[in-house]
């Protein structure tokens, strides 16, 4: 299904759409408040953008530097070309420990690689330990947002899910009580965890350490209780120096939720005595994106989700309408790189209003890239035939003033004299489903001008 | 100063009064603008649909039409933005470069080329200003809420100088209306919902006349206002500044 078909389903529940829009707009407003309070915020964005541009321009150097320093710290470093290799490496590490119980803290990369089904299929229990991730894992759903994975659900939905899976009282909707139930449930899982998997927000090349930002502290709890820590990261997560980190931590959470900083900013540099630490560095299409000059900057993304919160289309269509691990505007410029045919409708799921670009803490020109992906899709023949041919026809009309004038007149007169039911039939005029067409005037401007102005 | 008026196709056919008001307002400010009859379109509908290469003959036609003018003025920020930003795929001859830089949005032209910051007049109504994204974010004609809480901009200032005119304070000052060119039909459901939400913001906060600098946004919003039979009148800002009476 295309994005517009999925959105139409989402829009059927008008009240829920209103709630979804307002909830995310509230997050956007929290972000605004936090941003306005930092006078140098725009300079910080520029600095972050410059650091990321620089890092991407010599990624091979920083990747090697990171690997060397991490190894020196006693960390095992693995390289995965794609999702399959990543999943294989993680499973091998778990098996080499004879482990079957894994706790995981938030990682969009492992979602992208579909790690959970792979592990479960091979007899490993994997528990997502972020509250939102755990909720959608129990419901067997994909995240609908990169920072707020269960934002499509109301507390009533969570109550229902916990009643079914955690044995809470039926009809429980009190957030405090629901969270407490999840806490008790997860504590057992933490204590039993043999291997902890985490994502990576930033990997510091000069120290070889990885930094994980969470609000729930679940990454720390998982990693410190388990024997083995596996940190999975996309290869674009690097920053050169530890001193660069402050630029990003100041931007990340302000942009994401309006907090000055995450509750926990955890640095993992070396394994504790008697324990193991692994880092898996994943390509999975990133090199290809790096090789596309128009789209390279998408790799600067720090996964704050601000472009989703601000996007008027995302807020009214929900994350699942994008059918890609990373939804929203950023997902719409990352997804065609992975599978152009499957995600051909996503760059069109935008009015190109540009709010995503203005809100992006690392200044990715998201709406310009959406425009450029449309051109790539057009060239690759991925547009619907009706669109392709109507645009060719339109081009011929618009390059010929005579035909253009006559065509416009015909349309206007058609609208004037044809019955309303015909011109506004929703079956073939999608404009008219919710809107009236303009009331056609007797005379066009050019007719008036030719007659009046000498 | 040789000035041409460029009118987007839908204004030409459906909103001739906007073109007339533009000519008249410019005349009051001492500018006699020509209307080259061979003009058609900026090519944006094709380009935004992913058919940029199909738009090339239209871009060339645009440049040929307007190359001999000092300024090309249009009451449509979106088209101006397209000419300035996206005419980069044709060969950048001196004519192309000239047309790109001299194509100006009407109110930008009035303020920054003519140096006019106040237009005398009276319009005793509660007016809601819809910011077009391409004018605001693309041409930087107004502050963006992503950057600053200060609501300021070219059109806001011009309208504020009109006697009796009271501007609506919206809950969301600069959210997109959802028109989006072909988006309005290819994603008709979302487009309509966005427009309905925008209109509701205006109604909730007391707008009686909804205005803006881009007739494409306004055509979409007017379509919703008329379908829902709301007591809101939709006018292009040039009509207000040219002394419209409602």
- The least confident of A53-62, A91-100, A433-442, B139-148 is A433-442
User: A337 and A277, same structural domain?
Assistant: no
Q: How confident is the model at residue A104 (pLDDT cuts 50, 70, 90)?
A: very high
CATH of the domain at A169: 3.40.50.10420
In this prediction, residue A414 carries a pLDDT of: 84
Interface of B with A in 7-36 (CB under 8 A): 7, 9-20, 23, 35
The edge-to-edge listing of strands for the beta sheet with A209-214 is A238-239, A202-204, A209-214, A264-268
In this prediction, residue A386 carries a pLDDT of: 81
Q: Are A209 and A172 in contact (CB under 8 A)?
A: no
Q: How confident is the model at residue A411 (pLDDT cuts 50, 70, 90)?
A: confident
Q: Does residue A405 carry a pLDDT above 90?
A: no
Q: Say how far apart CA B22 and CA A453 lie, in whole Å.
A: 14
Q: Say how far apart CA B129 and CA B95 lie, in whole Å.
A: 35
Give the 3-state secondary structure of residue A196.
strand
Mean pLDDT of B134-163: 97
Nearest CA in chain B to A28: B146
In this prediction, residue A453 carries a pLDDT of: 84
Q: For A353, which of B55, B176, B188 is closest by C-beta distance?
A: B176
The backbone torsions φ and ψ at residue A132, rounded to the nearest 5 degrees and listed phi first, read -60, -45
User: A189 and A300, same structural domain?
Assistant: no
Using only the alpha carbons of chain B, give its radius of gyration.
17
Q: Does residue A454 carry a pLDDT above 80?
A: no
Shortest CA gap B117–chain A (Å): 27
Q: Do B220 and A310 touch (CB under 8 A)?
A: no
Q: Print the domain residue range for A17.
A: 1-37+293-383
In this prediction, residue A428 carries a pLDDT of: 81
Q: How confident is the model at residue A397 (pLDDT cuts 50, 70, 90)?
A: confident
- pTM of the entire predicted model: 0.96
Mean pLDDT of A241-264: 97
Q: Are B18 and B241 in contact (CB under 8 A)?
A: no
Nearest CA in chain B to A415: B14
Interface of B with A in 137-196 (CB under 8 A): 137-138, 144-149, 172, 174-176, 178-196
The domain total for chain A is 3
In this prediction, residue A316 carries a pLDDT of: 98
Shortest CA gap A441–chain B (Å): 6
According to DSSP, the β-strands at A202-204 and A101-104 are: unpaired
User: A97 and A68, same structural domain?
Assistant: yes
What is the per-residue DSSP string for A233-253?
EETT-EES-HHHHHHHHHHHH
Domain boundaries, chain B: 3-113, 126-241
Domain B126-241 CATH (choose: 3.40.50, 3.40.1000, 1.20.144, 3.30.70) = 3.40.50
Establish if B57 touches chain A: CB-CB under 8 angstroms: yes
Tokens of B32: 């006699």
Q: Say how far apart CA A186 and CA A130 lie, in whole Å.
A: 9
Q: Hunting for tokens 């909103």 — which residue is that?
A: B15
In this prediction, residue A417 carries a pLDDT of: 86
User: A190 and A330, same structural domain?
Assistant: no
Decide which of A238, A260, A284 is a domain's last residue.
A284
Nearest one of A410, A422, A397, A409 to A448, comparing CA atoms: A409
In this prediction, residue A389 carries a pLDDT of: 85
User: A154 and A141, same structural domain?
Assistant: yes
Q: How confident is the model at residue B163 (pLDDT cuts 50, 70, 90)?
A: very high
Q: Does residue A426 carry a pLDDT above 90?
A: no
Q: How confident is the model at residue A392 (pLDDT cuts 50, 70, 90)?
A: confident
Q: Does residue A391 carry a pLDDT above 90?
A: no
User: A362 and A255, same structural domain?
Assistant: no
Q: What is the mean pLDDT of chain A?
A: 95
- Which has more pLDDT, A101 or A106? A101
User: A311 and A266, same structural domain?
Assistant: no
Q: Hunting for tokens 């310009």 — which residue is that?
A: A368
A390 in a structural domain: no
């Amino acid at each position: 299904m295309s994005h517009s078909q999925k959105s139409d389903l989402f829009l059927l529940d008008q009240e829920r759409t209103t709630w979804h829009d307002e909830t995310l707009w509230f997050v956007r407003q929290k972000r605004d408040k936090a941003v306005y309070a930092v006078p140098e915020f725009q300079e910080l964005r520029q600095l972050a953008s410059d650091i990321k541009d620089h890092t991407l321009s010599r990624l091979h150097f920083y990747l090697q530097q990171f690997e060397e320093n991490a190894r020196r710290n006693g960390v095992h470093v693995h390289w995965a070309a794609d999702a399959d290799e990543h999943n294989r490496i993680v499973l091998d590490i778990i098996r080499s420990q004879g482990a079957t119980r894994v706790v995981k803290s938030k990682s969009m990369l492992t979602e992208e690689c579909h790690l959970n089904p792979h592990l479960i299929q091979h007899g490993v229990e994997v528990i997502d330990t972020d509250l939102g991730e755990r909720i959608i894992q129990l419901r067997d759903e994909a995240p609908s947002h990169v920072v707020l994975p269960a934002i499509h659900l109301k507390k009533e939905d969570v109550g229902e899910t916990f009643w079914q899976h955690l044995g809470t009282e039926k009809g429980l909707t009190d957030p405090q009580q629901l969270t407490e139930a999840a806490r008790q449930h997860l504590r057992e899982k933490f204590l039993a965890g043999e291997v902890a998997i985490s994502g990576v927000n930033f990997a510091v090349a000069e120290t070889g350490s990885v930094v994980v930002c969470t609000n729930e502290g679940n990454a720390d709890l998982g990693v410190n209780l388990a024997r083995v820590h596996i940190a999975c990261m996309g290869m674009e997560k690097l920053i050169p120096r530890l001193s660069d980190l402050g630029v990003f931590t100041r931007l990340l959470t302000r942009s994401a939720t309006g907090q000055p900083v995450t509750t926990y900013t955890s640095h993992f540099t070396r394994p504790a005595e008697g324990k193991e630490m692994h880092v898996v560095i994943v390509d999975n299409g990133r090199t290809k994106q790096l090789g596309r000059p128009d789209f390279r900057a998408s790799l600067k993304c720090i996964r704050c989700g601000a472009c989703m919160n601000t996007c008027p289309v995302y807020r009214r269509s929900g994350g699942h309408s994008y059918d890609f691990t990373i939804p929203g505007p950023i997902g719409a410029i990352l997804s065609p790189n992975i599978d152009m045919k499957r995600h051909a409708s996503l760059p069109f799921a935008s009015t190109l209003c540009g709010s995503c670009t203005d809100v992006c803490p690392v200044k990715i020109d998201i709406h310009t890239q959406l425009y450029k992906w449309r051109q790539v899709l057009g060239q690759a023949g991925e547009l619907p035939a009706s669109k392709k041919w109507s645009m060719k026809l339109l081009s011929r009309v618009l390059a010929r003033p005579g035909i253009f004038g006559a065509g416009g007149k015909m349309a206007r007169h058609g609208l004037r004299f044809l019955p309303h039911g015909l011109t506004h039939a929703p079956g073939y005029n999608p404009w008219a489903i919710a809107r009236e067409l303009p009331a056609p005037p007797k005379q066009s401007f050019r007719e008036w001008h030719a007659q009046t102005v000498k | 100063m040789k000035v041409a008026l460029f009118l987007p196709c839908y204004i030409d056919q459906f909103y001739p009064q906007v073109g007339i008001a533009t000519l008249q307002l410019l005349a009051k400010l001492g500018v006699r603008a020509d209307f080259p009859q061979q003009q058609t379109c900026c090519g944006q509908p094709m380009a935004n649909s992913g058919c940029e290469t199909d738009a090339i003959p239209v871009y060339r036609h645009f440049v040929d039409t307007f190359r001999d003018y000092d300024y090309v003025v249009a009451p449509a920020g979106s088209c101006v933005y397209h000419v300035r930003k996206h005419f980069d795929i044709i060969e950048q001859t001196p004519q192309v470069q000239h047309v790109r830089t001299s194509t100006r949005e009407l109110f930008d032209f009035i303020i920054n080329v003519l140096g006019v910051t106040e237009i005398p007049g009276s319009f005793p109504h509660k007016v809601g200003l819809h910011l077009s994204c391409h004018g605001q974010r693309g041409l930087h004609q107004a502050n963006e809420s992503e950057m600053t809480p200060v609501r300021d901009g070219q059109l806001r200032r011009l309208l504020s100088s009109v006697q009796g005119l009271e501007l609506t304070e919206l809950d969301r000052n600069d959210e997109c209306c959802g028109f989006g060119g072909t988006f309005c039909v290819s994603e008709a459901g979302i487009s309509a919902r966005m427009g309905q939400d925008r209109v509701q913001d205006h109604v909730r906060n007391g707008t009686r006349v909804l205005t803006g600098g881009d007739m494409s946004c306004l055509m979409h919003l007017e379509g919703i206002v008329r379908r829902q039979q709301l007591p809101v009148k939709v006018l292009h800002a040039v009509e207000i500044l040219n002394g419209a009476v409602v």
